[in-house]
Amino acid sequence: MRPLRARWPLALFALILLGWFLGGDGTVDLAARLQGPGPGHPFGTDEVGRDLLRRWWLGGARSLTLAGVLTAFHAALGLLLALAAHRAAFLRRTILALADLLASVPATLLALLLLALLRPGLGSLLTALALGGWIPYARLALNRLDVLRGDPSLLQVRLMGGGAAHRLLRHVLPRLAPLLLAQATVGLGAVILVEGGLSFLGVGLPPDLASWGTMLASGRAFLLASPWTLLWPSAGILAALLAAGAWRGGAGADGT
Amino acid sequence: MKSLLAALRALATVAGVWLFIQVLPRLLPEDPARIAAGEWATEAEVAAFRRILGLDQPLPQALARSASDLLHGRMGTSLRFNRPVADILLGGLPVSLRLAFLALAVSMLLAWAMALPRGRGIRALQAAAIASPVYVLGPLLLWAVAQHVPGLPVAGVRGWASWLLPAFTLAVPLAGHQARVLATQLEEIRESPGLRWWRASGVPGALRWRAWLLPAVSGPWLTVLGLQLGGLLGGAVLVETIFALPGLGQILVGALASRDLPLVQGAVLWGAAAYVATQAAVEWLQALLDPRAR
């Protein structure tokens, strides 16, 4: 398995992340609302006259950063829980039962349930998305840890006096990393997808924070007046998901 | 015997989800009664909501009440409509079911159309279908198709034509995932020595399909179909919102906006139960079709 084979997705992500350096998403100019692409505004303007290119770029950077941070968090949490489950039998039973339970509720429903119980905001969105995201990482890592348990090379390191921390950091984690990285490219796409959907419904990011999901949600109302409010964020999400898919090398068939 | 065990396990999972949904409001830092009553409610009003939600009772008693309700076919009372949650959900169920099965049928056709041809172009098409979220595709279709076709309903349920766009929107990403699984399987089998030997010895194409290829791909295809149908039965939240279809997804979004906790809990429990039941049914079906899975 060789994930991260294609290089162009990385270039695309880096380009979009440059949006953070724009510093703000433009000024309101009601005289120039809902314009098509033109000299002053290469992408056109939105319903209150803000430059769509600025908003698209900054919103993309925000969506991608959110997805990246969450994916890293999911992977770290999954790894920690797998290590805990590997140590004690009762923890293993508890954690696997919890994973089975959370995996039997579709991800969007789980997030919506949590959002009904928390105040709207960025923190709630992060919590809602983090609740079930760790499951595949934990299952994969635990599986591999079980395989490594009987590995002769690890036994040798132990016999030569390698401590627990040394074995974990230098011998176990490097062998888990490629597996978790491959899963992370799947997870990145999934988080972009769900976050966009929640923002589209108006329960994700607050509408004043530009992201591709919130831009789609507000642009939908001005579909006929100016399709550009809709087309740019659509193109952004499509490109990001295609890039995430190409990054993992085209393999993998994950349910919905 | 084995199918009985599987049914029991599915039942236990649903019971676990029910327990989780009941306990979760008490674990979170926010007071659900305060959220339901609103920012500016008085303490007395919050206390009233706490009573309605059963949060004033200790957990075992609240669980016993909810369990007894559930066994009697009740799921609590909606805060917003003051009607039984089960009645409201049953009202939205036909729309969601029709949308789910229509979308699944369309996706099966699209999947085969995308799985049979070979080449780089078709691979790219599969990847594009997988990377097309319904909340991107739906509005795009509205813009590209609906405004140029007079008489095509774009919102609500008015005759058969109003199902066209929603079902197609929902079907595209599903078809992409199915097509990828089908294409991968087909490629593997087509190159297998056994099938090449069949082809070389002149076994006709129809027989090769009926006796080897179709049975071989049906297992993995069924698994994907089961996951997809299970996800759809809980209501297609996004598509129902885009096309204003009065199904379970719309009910859930409305309940979320009005902080109607019992209705949200009911909708999520139904979604999880439908998902688990579909998985169990698919497992049973696969054991029926494939002796190795028994």
Burial readout B37-61 (b: 16 or more C-beta within 10 A, e: otherwise): beeebeeeebeebbebbbbeeeeee
Mean confidence (pLDDT) of chain A: 83
The average pLDDT across B258-284 equals 91
d(CA B53, CA B11): 25
B251 interface with A at CB cutoff 8 Å: no
B252 interface with A at CB cutoff 8 Å: yes
Min Cα distance B159 → chain A (Å) is: 24
- State whether residue B54 is helix, strand or coil: coil
Residue bearing the bigger pLDDT, B13 or B120: B13
The average pLDDT across B173-186 equals 92
- Decide if pLDDT at B270 tops 90: yes
Q: What pLDDT does B175 receive?
A: 95
B224 interface with A at CB cutoff 8 Å: yes
Angle at A77 between CA B279 and CA A166, to 5 degrees: 125
Place B274 in a pLDDT band, splitting at 50, 70 and 90.
Answer: very high
Q: What pLDDT does A5 receive?
A: 62
Across the interface, which of A105, A119, A246 has its CB nearest the CB of B272? A105
Per CB-CB distance under 8 Å, the chain A contacts of B182 are none
Using CA coordinates, name the residue in chain A closest to B183: A253
Q: What pLDDT does A251 receive?
A: 41
Q: Do B17 and A101 touch (CB under 8 A)?
A: yes
Min Cα distance B189 → chain A (Å) is: 17
Across the interface, which of A106, A216, A242 has its CB nearest the CB of B135? A216
Place A88 in a pLDDT band, splitting at 50, 70 and 90.
Answer: confident
Lowest mean pLDDT among A35-44, A186-195, B30-39, B91-100: A35-44
Q: Give tens-digit pLDDT for A13-35.
A: 888 888 788 777 777 777 777 77
Q: Which helix (H) or strand (E) holds B84?
A: none
Min Cα distance B3 → chain A (Å) is: 19
Q: Do B177 and A97 touch (CB under 8 A)?
A: no
Q: Do A245 and B130 touch (CB under 8 A)?
A: yes
* C-alpha separations of B76 from A112, B86, B89, B248 in Å: 19, 8, 12, 17
pTM of the complete model: 0.86
B27 interface with A at CB cutoff 8 Å: no
Q: Which of residues 153-192 of B touch A (CB under 8 A)?
A: 173-174, 177, 180-181, 184
In angstroms, how far apart are the furthest CA atoms of chain B?
A: 84
The average pLDDT across B191-219 equals 87
Per CB-CB distance under 8 Å, the chain A contacts of B32 are 117
Per CB-CB distance under 8 Å, the chain A contacts of B240 are none
Place A256 in a pLDDT band, splitting at 50, 70 and 90.
Answer: very low
Place B265 in a pLDDT band, splitting at 50, 70 and 90.
Answer: very high
* Residue-by-residue DSSP string for chain A: ---S--SHHHHHHHHHHGGGGG-S-----GGGTT--S-SS-TT-B-TTS-BHHHHHHHHHHHHHHHHHHHHHHHHHHHHHHHHHHHH-HHHHHHHHHHHHHHHTS-HHHHHHHHHHHS-SSHHHHHHHHHHHHTHHHHHHHHHHHHHHHT-HHHHHHHHTT--HHHIIIIIIHHHHHHHHHHHHHHHHHHHHHHHHHHHHHTSSS-TTS--HHHHHHHHGGGTTT-THHHHHHHHHHHHHHHHHHHHTTT------
B222 interface with A at CB cutoff 8 Å: no
Q: Do A234 and B253 touch (CB under 8 A)?
A: no
Place B179 in a pLDDT band, splitting at 50, 70 and 90.
Answer: very high
Q: Are B275 and A106 in contact (CB under 8 A)?
A: yes
Min Cα distance A130 → chain B (Å) is: 14
Q: Which of residues 61-120 of B touch A (CB under 8 A)?
A: none
d(CA A196, CA B239): 14
Q: What pLDDT does B95 receive?
A: 93
Q: Do A256 and B252 touch (CB under 8 A)?
A: no
d(CA B248, CA B169): 17
Per CB-CB distance under 8 Å, the chain A contacts of B140 are 230-231, 234
Using CA coordinates, name the residue in chain B closest to A256: B228
Using CA coordinates, name the residue in chain A closest to B259: A116
Per CB-CB distance under 8 Å, the chain A contacts of B256 are 112, 115-116, 203
Q: What pLDDT does A255 receive?
A: 31
Per CB-CB distance under 8 Å, the chain A contacts of B125 are none
Q: What share of chain B has pLDDT > 70, as a percent?
A: 99
Which residues touch A82 (CB under 8 Å, ≥6 apart)? A95, A137, A138, A139, A140, A141, A142, A145
Which of B22, B30, B135, B185 is most worth mutating to test chain A (most A CB atoms within 10 A of its CB)? B135
| Torsions phi, psi for A48 (to 5 deg) | -120, 20
Q: Do B228 and A227 touch (CB under 8 A)?
A: no
Across the interface, which of A109, A223, A231 has its CB nearest the CB of B271? A109
Place of tokens 């696969």: B286
- Decide if pLDDT at A4 tops 70: no
Q: What pLDDT does B272 receive?
A: 92
Using CA coordinates, name the residue in chain A closest to B137: A234
Q: Give tens-digit pLDDT for B33-58.
A: 888 888 888 888 888 888 888 888 88
- Decide if pLDDT at A1 tops 50: no
Across the interface, which of A102, A196, A253 has its CB nearest the CB of B135? A196
Q: What pLDDT does A253 receive?
A: 36
- Decide if pLDDT at A76 tops 90: yes
Q: Do A109 and B132 touch (CB under 8 A)?
A: no
Lowest mean pLDDT among A61-70, A241-250, B44-53, B105-114: A241-250
The average pLDDT across A68-73 equals 93
d(CA A76, CA A82): 10
Q: Are B204 and B241 in contact (CB under 8 A)?
A: no
Place B293 in a pLDDT band, splitting at 50, 70 and 90.
Answer: low
Q: Give tens-digit pLDDT for A89-129.
A: 899 999 998 898 888 888 888 888 888 888 777 888 888 88
Mean confidence (pLDDT) of chain B: 88
Q: Do A253 and B173 touch (CB under 8 A)?
A: no
Tell me, what amino acid is at B223? T
B136 interface with A at CB cutoff 8 Å: yes
Q: Give tens-digit pLDDT for A203-241.
A: 888 877 888 888 888 888 787 777 888 888 888 999 998
Which residues touch A119 (CB under 8 Å, ≥6 apart)? B30, B35
